[in-house]
Amino acid sequence: MDKKLLVCILLFSIGSFSALSLSANSAPYDGVVEPGPGFTLHPNPVSGTWFHINLAFSESDYPNARFSISNVLGEVIYTAPIKKTEFAGAKVRVDVADLKLDKGVYFVQVFGGDKSRILRLVVR
């Protein structure tokens, strides 16, 4: 009988949430990080009505890049392609009010081909 060991550690601190999941059947981490579309979020935490996804890659690096915003339950709230004009300015402006994001924690994921990266976003 194959037994799985699943350990979930939830860490709560003021205004932040982290989760770590370990499985006995997972391959060991070899220290290699796959390259993917780099980006930052500003401001974070968000206290106004918008934030920027600052792109650290070009359209030629990931021509069909897109992004999504998910809640802590993993439900995708919004997804959109990154437009040529946004690549030209190296940033995507996201209106919190238009998306009706309530106060809380969200995850912004940027996809480039078969690679992606995720950053946590806090809306206050």
DSSP string, 1-46: -----EEEEEEEETTEEEEEEEETTSPPP-S-------EEEESSSB
Q: 15 and 45 in contact (C-beta within 8 Å)?
A: yes
65-103 pLDDT per residue, tens: 999 999 999 999 999 999 999 999 999 999 999 999 999
In a domain, 7, yes or no: no
71 lies in which domain range? 37-123
> How many separate domains does the chain show?
1
CATH number at residue 97: 2.60.40.3080
What is the DSSP secondary structure assignment for residue 101, as one 8-state letter?
A: P
Place 36 in a pLDDT band, splitting at 50, 70 and 90: confident
What pTM was computed for the model? 0.72
In a domain, 27, yes or no: no
The confidence score (pLDDT) of residue 34 equals 58
